[in-house]
Amino acid sequence: MAVEIPPLIKPSRLRRRGGLWGECLAEFLGTFVLIAFGCGVVAMAVAALPGSGRTEGPTTFFLGAGDWLLICWGWAFAVVFGVYVAGGVSGAHLNPAVTLAFAARRGFPWKKVLPYWASQVVGAFAGAALVYAVYHDAINTFDQAMKGPKTNGHTVASFSIFATFPAPYFHGGNWGPLIDQIVGTALLVMLIVAIVDLRNTAVKANLGPLVTGFAVAAIGMSYGANAGYAINPARDFGPRLLTYAVGWGKLALPGSEPGAFSHYWWIPIVGPLVGGLIGVLVYDLFIGDVLHIRAQQKELPEPGRARPLDEE
């Protein structure tokens, strides 16, 4: 089917897009799709559903666990379709933490790391811009109806549509949210490398993106409330830049609200990068090395057995 589709641009002008440039375009579009659906579902839950009269009031949201499940599954689908869009060209990292982990342990070229990171951040910014363009009326109406502290007329609740912040029980501390981001991203990357590892019980029939989405949903359900489970520096920083540009001010950068959190912007960047490295190292130490040595054996033991039958 693909060979029957003529290119939109003359083949002579497409050649440079066959390499890194094409991969960066794929990372941009895949991350754009990720944020367009991910931030879009949060905009629905926080501003659009209340504002459209589908909840108890114009500022009523998150009354129960079901509301959180809407967010978790929305982000899961966002990951699924982002990976399906970009996977065939760039591998669909869509996350600087994944790119760094793959460079450290999966042979991904280090010279491509910064271009991938830049493409992911720009794609996230563009995806957030689309969400803001579609939902800015709902967001402005929501902020006007909300009571409490506001920055340039905006609230931290509307800011949560785009970027993350810590829960109140951390009392503005950094260590709790930082550990949360390290743990969440370590789990994410560990699951991703398990899903794509052909030596293991790898997902086949092009279902890898779907199972990766399940992994993101599981992390959101299990660890999401602590700090919004960014688990992706581009996912947080790109939309954060957008919100800073359109009026959220210090809520976005440096990420401060008096009495709640201060200079938070770096935690969803550093935490995931550290966590991604830990996740891939843990997988390789506990699973990857075992699979490697078993691949060198002539007869592999059945799962659950220590040695092949002829050695017993």
- Which CATH number characterizes residue 90's domain? 1.20.1080.10
Scanning the chain, the segments in alpha helix (DSSP H) are 11-14, 20-43, 49-51, 65-90, 96-105, 113-145, 156-159, 175-196, 208-227, 233-246, 267-283, 289-295
Mean of the per-residue pLDDT values of the chain: 91
- Short-list 285, 282, 306, CA closest to 294: 306
pLDDT attached to residue 307: 59
Residue 183 pLDDT > 80, yes or no? yes
Domain that holds residue 237: 18-294
The confidence band for 305, taking pLDDT boundaries of 50, 70 and 90, is low
pTM of the full structure: 0.92
The confidence band for 240, taking pLDDT boundaries of 50, 70 and 90, is very high
Could you tell me how far CA 301 lies from the centroid of its own chain?
Answer: 37
The confidence band for 43, taking pLDDT boundaries of 50, 70 and 90, is very high
Residue 204: inside a domain, yes or no?
yes
Residue 11 pLDDT > 80, yes or no? no
According to DSSP, the residues that pair with 257 across neighbouring strands are 261
Under 8 Å between Cβ of 58 and 18 = no
pLDDT attached to residue 12: 56
CA angle 213, 111, 231 (to 5 degrees): 30
Residue 79 pLDDT > 60, yes or no? yes
Domain tally for the chain? 1
pLDDT attached to residue 99: 98
Residue 26: inside a domain, yes or no?
yes
pLDDT attached to residue 116: 98
Count of residues in the chain:
312
Residue 1: inside a domain, yes or no?
no
Handedness of CA 30, 34, 37, 40 (dihedral sign): negative
Higher pLDDT, 307 or 78: 78
Quick one: average pLDDT of 44-61?
79
The confidence band for 8, taking pLDDT boundaries of 50, 70 and 90, is confident
Residue 305: inside a domain, yes or no?
no
The confidence band for 35, taking pLDDT boundaries of 50, 70 and 90, is very high
Distances in whole angstroms, Cα of residue 84 to Cα of each of 31, 78, 128, 190: 11, 10, 20, 20
Residue 32: inside a domain, yes or no?
yes
Residue 174: inside a domain, yes or no?
yes
According to DSSP, the residues that pair with 244 across neighbouring strands are none
Residue 2: inside a domain, yes or no?
no
pLDDT attached to residue 122: 98
Residue 57 pLDDT > 70, yes or no? no
Under 8 Å between Cβ of 127 and 31 = yes
According to DSSP, the residues that pair with 154 across neighbouring strands are 151
Residue 3: inside a domain, yes or no?
no
